[in-house]
Amino acid sequence: MKPEDLLTLARSVVAQAADGEEIEVACSFGTSRNIRVYEGEVESLTTADNSGIGVRVLADGREGFASAGSLDPDVVAEMLSEARDNATFAESDPFVGIARPDGVEPVDIELWHSGVSTTPTKDKVAMAVELERRVRAHDPRISGIRVAGYGDNEGSFALVSTAGIEAASEASSASISVQALAVDGDRTQTGFAYDGARQPQDLDLDQVVERAVSQAVDLIGATKPATASVDLVLDPRMAATVIGLIAGTLTGDRVIKGRSPFVDRVGEQIGAKMLSFVDDATDPASLGADSHDGEGLACRRVPLVLDGVLQGFLHDSYTGRRAGGGSTGSAVRGTRGLPTPGLHALAVAPGQGSLEELISRSELGVLVFSLAGLHSGVNPVSGDFSVGVEGRMIRNGELAEPVGEFTVGSTLQRLMLDISAIGDDLRHLPSGVSTPSIVIADVALSGTSA
Amino acid sequence: MIGQETIEEVLGTALAGGAELAEIFAEDVRRGSVNLDDGRIESLASGRDRGVGVRVISGGATGFAHTADLSRRSLLSAARAAADAVTGSAGSTAAAIERVETTPGPVAIAPGDIPKATKVELLRQAEEVARSADPAITQVSARYAESRRRILVANSDGVLAGDDQTRTLFSVSCVASGDAGLQTGHETVGLSVGFEIFDRYDVEKLANEAAQRALTKLQARPAPSGTLPVVIGPGSGGVLFHEACGHGLEADLVAKGASAFANRLGEQVASPIVTLIDDATMAEEWGRYAIDDEGSPGRRNVLIEDGILVDYLWDGIRARQEGRPSSGNGRRQSYRHLPMVRMTNTYLAGGESDPADIIASVDHGVYVARLGGGQVNTASGDFVFGMVEAYLIEGGKITAPLREGQLIGNGPKVLREIEAIGNDFAMGPPGTCGKDGQGVPVGDGVPTLKVAELTIGGTAS
């Protein structure tokens, strides 16, 4: 189904709105392919159609929602009636409601690239086989591959509401991933890497091979380091994870409910002076770019931190109304859930120096390969931060021994203030985050007792 | 969901390309949830998912296609797509289908028969109790969720089986605010039963416990950093054995060399007091089912007995390759996913020690009353878990509450370093296990146990 077909379907549901009732319908349809290979052969090949619909109904300030994984007329009708029924049990809230058009013009961004449909399946299989072969061949210490695969999808999305909002889009994406294994005595080390793009032609196989292999073999012989205070050196991928966690606490729902460590701190210095980041889905270079948010409003540039000073928060129409400033076009959603404010395309402003230069400036640090336990170890309400790390020690500006089985601890608040360097190696990552390498000083490493 | 005639036609079409085995998995899921947050019933949500996945196996290759459209035409087209994905010359034909009788878990009160207003009322009750626990409780949220999942599996070996799985869940979260900032407390219960879950658990008691947990943490000091003896309390610690040991016993990971337990059958892999079991038949538990998502009956499987590695967990594909029966652990998140080896209810069997004696045996260490979520690298066995509720042990006594921190260690090493196991076995809260992007409901449990040493990643300087 094309975006126009979805618009037609969504309009037909919205047209059933009763007097005083508001309806918003989001629907999607897509096709996907997933290929997994093992030892040069296809292990599994999945082809599928995916559809979804989410119906939001508002009456008297009460909201009800229903969603389904089918666009069949009987299911769509059932969802409208369920959403209506659900609304009658919710409690009234004067700020609840669907988004109102706010006059901001959407930027035109091409999210669909032809490569996904023009590339034959056998070439996609070949890419996954090639990825696996190259990882195995790259280093004799690679003892196996747990997963090597290729996936892509193409889909349409449409959103229509009784407030007069109509938005539709078409997008494509492709990705490759691999997890390499390296035997290390009676242990096994792993290296995971992936890349994502809007079509298979834009995937960077070389970089994925290099990263998966080096992460696995560079960890061979990893030991638990001694407890110390260290520099945490984060390459763009790891920096994206950490900055993403921090920026994730700057959403309107957390703020209005008092569940962010940064509530009431707009205008204050919450980070190092060198730190600036925005959420900017209008930047076509970002893989998180989009023309519309999850409520059909135009995406826009939302400054979050400038020179270390907190500028504001991410809002959807509900939290925006409650906070008083309106939506920042930051609603995120699938068709299966209600919109919430979130990040589209977080971008950290680059500083100076390559990752190598940042490493050379650290006396005692850890170059981070992976972070574990982010869900259990980061409390977005209190800001407490304690996560497991694997990586390489940095001693006197040089990469030293591999280390693992230890944690680093701090708080999200302190991590922001303790940023001591930002590189110039900006990368646009598949997650939608764009960031250079970042160094955080004086982080407590908890390992073996000294 | 689909007639037998159509099933046979689809299986025949799926085998036409020469594959060895064809399978149809049909699913119809209804979900409902109610959320209370910020003093208000925010929204009620309903969900519906139904569809069919057709899987074709030929040698080591699997072809798979799925569709939400249940028409005969669409099912045949999925069968052809799955068949086209693999090449084979087995020339198999579908065996006559024989229905396997299964007994779904009993549901006394179908959640769908309970008025939504009653569910809303439970949440309000929880909120009121939590808020009145102490003025320091500044935020309360609560959630009720129900699901009913009906599945039908048929394959060209002649299996035809179905299951009807109902699950009901209730959770309360509180935020307490004090000099130490904001602290959180949670309580979650979930069972493979219907609305009778509220005969087993008292909503007011759950709400009060969540509030007390947050309040206790207001007084907490930062967790220490370093290597210490750790006593893990009954219940929630099961997640550690699920993550750090159970995943390494999944036959697909073992076969690929991505497990610390590969090639170790019959060996002493744990302290002789350790017996680890995975049991899909545990009545009412979150990970229970009558059949797995490949049509094999759920079973109780002993994995480690008195410290000796006895067996791995198997799905259909891996079992076929090894010429042995499946252990009934082939599961999938939905009809849109391929099955793989998964756990069900995983637990460390009860021991003989008095929990009080176990605590008394530690001079300086940490007591973890509640473990939170975690992450494990199955290849190395390294894990990280959050301590949601923990206390210092000083001179054999539980003393000061600790703020959140992480426990870090290595699964195989922990198994060897278990020094004592209590006689107070309990199941922990319901969980969702993630593997390769698929989530499935699981249960886990442990009695009180003592590990000689684990690394605590706290923030105390």
In a domain, B104, yes or no: no
Confidence category of residue B461, pLDDT binned at 50, 70, 90: low
Residue B172 has pLDDT above 80, yes or no: yes
Instruction: Name the token pair of A373.
Output: 């336990």
Query: Taking residues B108-127, what's their average pLDDT?
Result: 96
Question: What 3-state class would DSSP assign to B449?
Answer: strand
| All CATH 3.30.2290.10 domain ranges in chain A, comma separated | 3-217
B245 and B343 together in one domain? yes
The Cβ of residue A189 has, within 10 Å, a number of other Cβ atoms equal to 27
Q: What is the pLDDT of residue A357?
A: 98
Q: Mean pLDDT of residues grouped by 10 in chain A (450 residues)?
A: 95 96 97 94 91 95 94 93 94 93 94 96 96 96 94 96 97 97 86 96 96 94 93 97 96 91 95 98 95 97 98 97 95 93 98 98 97 85 89 97 92 96 96 97 85
Instruction: Name the token pair of A217.
Output: 């073999």
Confidence category of residue B94, pLDDT binned at 50, 70, 90: confident
Mutation site for A-interface testing, chosen from B36, B121, B455 by largest number of A Cβ within 10 Å = B455
B246 and B360 together in one domain? yes
Rounded-to-integer distance, Cα B85 and Cα B81, Å: 6
Q: What is the pLDDT of residue B87?
A: 78
Q: What are B376-432's pLDDT values in tens digits? A: 887 888 888 989 899 999 999 999 999 878 898 889 999 999 999 999 999 999 999
Mutation site for A-interface testing, chosen from B44, B49, B239, B256 by largest number of A Cβ within 10 Å = B44
The C-alpha of B137 sits at a distance from chain A's nearest C-alpha, in angstroms, of: 12
Name the residue with tokens 């929990």: B355
Mutation site for B-interface testing, chosen from A37, A49, A122, A340 by largest number of B Cβ within 10 Å = A49
In a domain, B119, yes or no: yes
In a domain, B311, yes or no: yes
For chain B, percent of residues with pLDDT exceeding 90: 77
The pTM is what? 0.91
Confidence category of residue B460, pLDDT binned at 50, 70, 90: low
ipTM > 0.95? no
In a domain, B106, yes or no: no
B81 and B131 together in one domain? no
Q: What is the pLDDT of residue B30?
A: 96
Distances, alpha carbon B10 to alpha carbons A45, A291, A341, B59, B335, in Å: 18, 42, 44, 20, 16
The C-alpha of A53 sits at a distance from chain B's nearest C-alpha, in angstroms, of: 10
B309 vs B403, which has greater pLDDT?
B309
In a domain, B157, yes or no: no
Please indicate if any CB of chain A lies within 8 Å of the CB of B64.
Answer: yes
Q: Is A311 exposed, middle or buried (0-12, 13-18, 19+ CB in 10 A)?
A: middle
Residue B330 has pLDDT above 80, yes or no: yes
Residues A64, B47: C-beta atoms closer than 8 Å = no
The Cβ of residue B399 has, within 10 Å, a number of other Cβ atoms equal to 11
The CATH fold of domain A3-217: PmbA/TldD fold (3.30.2290)
Instruction: Name the token pair of B446.
Output: 């442990």
Distances, alpha carbon A225 to alpha carbons A221, A402, A405, A449, B341, in Å: 12, 9, 8, 9, 35
Residue B339 has pLDDT above 90, yes or no: yes
In a domain, B158, yes or no: no
Confidence category of residue B98, pLDDT binned at 50, 70, 90: confident
CB-closest option in A38, A69, A405 to B51: A69
CATH number assigned to the domain comprising residue B117: 3.30.2290.10
Q: What is the pLDDT of residue A450?
A: 56
Rounded-to-integer distance, Cα A236 and Cα A425, Å: 8
Residues B384, A65: C-beta atoms closer than 8 Å = no
User: Considering only alpha carbons, which residue of chain B is nearest residue A73?
Assistant: B69
Using an 8 Å Cβ cutoff, are A293 and A329 in contact?
yes
Residues B63, A44: C-beta atoms closer than 8 Å = yes
Using an 8 Å Cβ cutoff, are A70 and B50 in contact?
yes
> What is the CA angle B282-B288-B291, rounded to 5?
115
Q: What is the pLDDT of residue A1?
A: 86
Q: What is the pLDDT of residue B420?
A: 97
In a domain, B154, yes or no: no
B378 and B282 together in one domain? yes
B211 and B231 together in one domain? no
Helix, strand, coil percent content, chain B, rounded in steps of 5: 20, 45, 35
Query: Taking residues B253-275, what's their average pLDDT?
Result: 93
Residues A373, B384: C-beta atoms closer than 8 Å = yes
B190 and B318 together in one domain? no
Instruction: Name the token pair of A251.
Output: 């959403």
Domain count, chain B: 3
Chain B residues in contact with A190 (beta carbon < 8 A): 258, 377, 379-380
Strand partners, B58: B61
Rounded-to-integer distance, Cα B159 and Cα B26, Å: 14
CB-closest option in A78, A85, A188 to B257: A188
In a domain, B155, yes or no: no
Rounded-to-integer distance, Cα B104 and Cα B294, Å: 15
Instruction: Name the token pair of B321.
Output: 């390759």
Using an 8 Å Cβ cutoff, are A206 and A339 in contact?
no
Helix, strand, coil percent content, chain A, rounded in steps of 5: 25, 40, 35
Q: What is the pLDDT of residue B380?
A: 80
Query: Taking residues B158-181, what's their average pLDDT?
Result: 93
Print the domain residue range for B117. 111-149+163-217
Nearest by Cα to A331 from A321, A347, A318:
A318
B397 and B344 together in one domain? yes
